[in-house]
Structure 1
Amino acid sequence: MKHFALALDLKDDSKLIAEYEAYHREVWPEVLEAIRHVGILDMKIFRLGSRMFMQMTTTDEYDEAEAQIYLASDPKSQEWEKLMDTYQQRLVGYPAEKKWIQMSCCFDLSEQK
């Protein structure tokens, strides 16, 4: 399995944040199917204020570039992404075309003696 940690900000508006969380309580089935199709086994999103943290576990075969191509060609996933873009804002200092920014791991308990 592979593990990923990603960050993104929401627009700092309590009404928009509540709507965003409501959508994530009932993610569209087609979007969930597409996520699983590309090899994502588990995904969790955490929030602190407007900062988002996504934890993803994938198959060993998961390829981020291939997943992006597949999801970009899936109409329902693109509809979902366009809707979510209403609530999200890019992290300062990163390319505008990148939404979720991959974080680097600076500590892993399993690697400690």
Structure 2
Amino acid sequence: MTDTQRYCFALDLNDDAELIAGYKAWHAPGAVPAAVTRSIRDADIRELEIWQVHDRMFMIMEVGPDFSPDAKAAADLADADVQAWERLMWQFQKPLPKAREGEKWVALERIYALSAQ
């Protein structure tokens, strides 16, 4: 039994090679502001990966038992550094076609697991 849970999300980038390169540069090792990385770790997010294909992004989070999506969202809203990061990232990102108003990363639904077969 594991003490972690996985969350997966999708988001699109603006389909522009220069912007995509800029987004990737901002996510290179050491490029993300320390305050943003700290906010992720403080939320009991144990691992966070972003994967890319063309202009589509997938984020995979492994979280511990103290993680709360609602608490993370509230903490992010109250953190000026995280809000500055989110504003910066929006110049590269665009919502998925069926995302709700204001929704950024859209949660994926797991439909298959080899372990369940």
- State TM-score, norm by structure 2: 0.92
- The answer to whether the aligner puts 1:108 opposite 2:113 as a matched pair is yes
Q: Which residue of 2 aligns with 1:21?
A: 24
Q: Which residue of 2 aligns with 1:63?
A: 68
Contact 2:43-2:66 within 8 A present in 1 as well: no
2:6 to 3, 9, 24: 3
1:78 to 61, 65, 83: 83
Runs of 4+ in 1 over 3 A off after TM superposition: none
Shift of 1:110: 2.5
How many correspondences in the alignment?
A: 112
Q: Which residue of 2 aligns with 1:51?
A: 56
* Identity, % of aligned positions: 32
Q: Which residue of 1 aligns with 2:38?
A: 33
Could you give the per-residue CA deviations for residues 41-73 of structure 1, whole angstroms, max 9, x where no partner exists? 100000000000001000122110111000111
Q: Output the amino acid matched with 1:19.
A: G
Q: Distance in 1 between matches of 2:116 and 2:33?
A: 37
Aligned to 1:47, the other structure's residue is in SS state strand
Shift of 1:81: 0.4
Q: Distance in 2 between matches of 1:57 and 1:110?
A: 17
Q: Distance in 2 between matches of 1:10 and 1:22?
A: 14
Aligned to 2:27, the other structure's residue is in SS state helix
Q: Which runs of 5+ in 2 are unaligned?
A: none
